[in-house]
């Protein structure tokens, strides 16, 4: 008997201690570093809290009913003719309906306020920075048209500066996301998609593909460095001093060849039209002929690329 009691005590302590194992975990979505991420966090917590209004009472009543009406409890009332209660009927229908209506209003509002294509409403006086993003096999190309540079698997921008990411794909469909900053957006060949983000704090945040795209998908990770304006200017000068250049189409097509765990690369003297040239290549067919050799590298993962001469908004 004593052994069973100690066993129950140990089991209870073990259950209480299990959450401590999560102390070393880092919840990326719950620790946002940007305006969009913070608003998405509030949306998640609000929706979660509303749903708990239904979930918690159901769980509590299930446990209470199972305990009260157990076979060994002779004090529990037995009412075989009971079949209906107006009070219960009102509660189980009215409260969930109110929650559903509230969630519907919340969804409608945030679908517009968090529209990734919508420029951010920020107090910052800084001009919006434009960065082109091209998903390749299996790496990310970042193009800075105003600075005339490009990088692979590393994107750098200043804190408190709105960034307009123009997103496309040089291969199969993919998805671009920096979890701590906010929304993910699809990257599609021949299409110009976009997302607006801003970082509130300096730091290094990881971004990745969130859409399966073949053998190297799991290594399709990039580093997002948020710096001061002075730090960004110094980094731009460093990239401009790189001896490597990225010309279209030959240099770009060589870079676009499939590679896994591709190292960070810097390119100087990059044409400000490179991003648009990549999109246009799918419309006139030059990209198809240039990459016919590796289209089969995806096998059933990617299939053939098709030109889609439209914007992402038009597709929606």
Report phi then psi at 120, rounded to 5: -75, 145
Provide the 8-state DSSP code for 149: E
Band of pLDDT at residue 286, cut at 50, 70 and 90: low
Indicate whether 214 pLDDT > 50.
yes
* Mean pLDDT, range 52-58, rounded to an integer: 91
Of 265, 227, 262, 273, the C-alpha closest to 243 is 265
Taking phi over 0 as left and psi of -120 to 50 as alpha, with beta for the rest, 299 belongs to left
Average pLDDT, the chain: 86
Indicate whether 77 pLDDT > 90.
no
* Mean pLDDT, range 290-298, rounded to an integer: 43
* Mean pLDDT, range 256-282, rounded to an integer: 94
Of 256, 244, 310, the C-alpha closest to 287 is 256
pLDDT of residue 295: 41
Selected residue with higher pLDDT from 301 and 151: 151
Task: State the Cα torsion 172-178-181-183 to the nearest 10°.
Answer: 30
pLDDT of residue 1: 57
In percent, the amount of the chain with pLDDT more than 90 equals: 63
For residue 265, count CB atoms less than 10 angstroms from its CB and return exposed for 0-12, middle for 13-18, buried for 19 or more.
middle
Indicate whether 187 pLDDT > 70.
yes
Cα separation, 138 vs 301, in Å, equals 13
- Identify the three-state secondary structure at position 307: coil
- Identify the three-state secondary structure at position 194: strand
Per-residue pLDDT tens digits for 126-178: 789 999 999 999 999 999 999 999 999 999 999 999 999 999 999 999 999 99
Name the packing angle between helices 86-113 and 35-68 (round to 10°).
170
Q: Are strands 310-311 and 265-267 parallel, antiparallel or unpaired?
A: unpaired
Per-residue pLDDT tens digits for 10-46: 777 877 777 777 666 667 778 889 999 999 999 999 9
């Amino acid at each position: 008997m004593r052994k069973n009691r100690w066993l129950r005590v140990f089991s209870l302590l073990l259950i209480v201690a299990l959450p401590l194992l999560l102390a070393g975990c880092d919840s990326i979505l719950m620790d946002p570093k940007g305006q969009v991420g913070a608003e998405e966090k509030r949306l998640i917590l609000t929706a979660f809290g509303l749903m708990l209004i239904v979930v918690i009472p159901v769980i509590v009543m299930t446990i209470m009913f199972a305990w009260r009406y157990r076979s060994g409890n002779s004090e529990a009332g037995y009412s075989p003719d009971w079949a209906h209660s107006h009070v219960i009927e009102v509660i189980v229908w009215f409260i969930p309906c109110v929650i559903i209506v509230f969630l519907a209003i919340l969804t409608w509002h945030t679908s517009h306020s968090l529209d990734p294509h919508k420029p951010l409403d920020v107090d910052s006086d800084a001009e919006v920075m434009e960065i082109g993003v091209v998903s390749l096999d299996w790496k990310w190309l970042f193009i800075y048209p105003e600075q005339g540079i490009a990088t692979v698997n590393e994107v750098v921008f200043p804190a408190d500066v709105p960034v307009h990411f123009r997103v496309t794909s040089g291969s199969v469909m993919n998805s671009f996301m920096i979890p701590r900053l906010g929304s993910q957006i699809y990257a599609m060949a021949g299409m110009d998609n976009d997302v607006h983000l801003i970082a509130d704090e300096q730091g290094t945040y990881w971004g990745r593909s969130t859409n399966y795209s073949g053998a190297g998908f799991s290594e399709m990770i990039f580093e997002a460095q948020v710096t001061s304006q002075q730090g960004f200017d110094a980094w731009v000068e460093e990239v401009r001093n790189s001896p490597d250049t990225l010309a279209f189409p030959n240099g770009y097509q060589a870079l676009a060849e499939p590679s896994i765990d591709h190292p960070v690369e810097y390119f100087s003297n990059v044409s400000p039209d490179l991003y648009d040239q990549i999109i246009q290549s799918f419309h006139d067919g030059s990209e198809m002929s240039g990459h016919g050799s590796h289209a089969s590298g995806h096998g059933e993962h990617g299939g053939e690329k098709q030109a889609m001469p439209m914007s992402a908004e038009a597709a929606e």
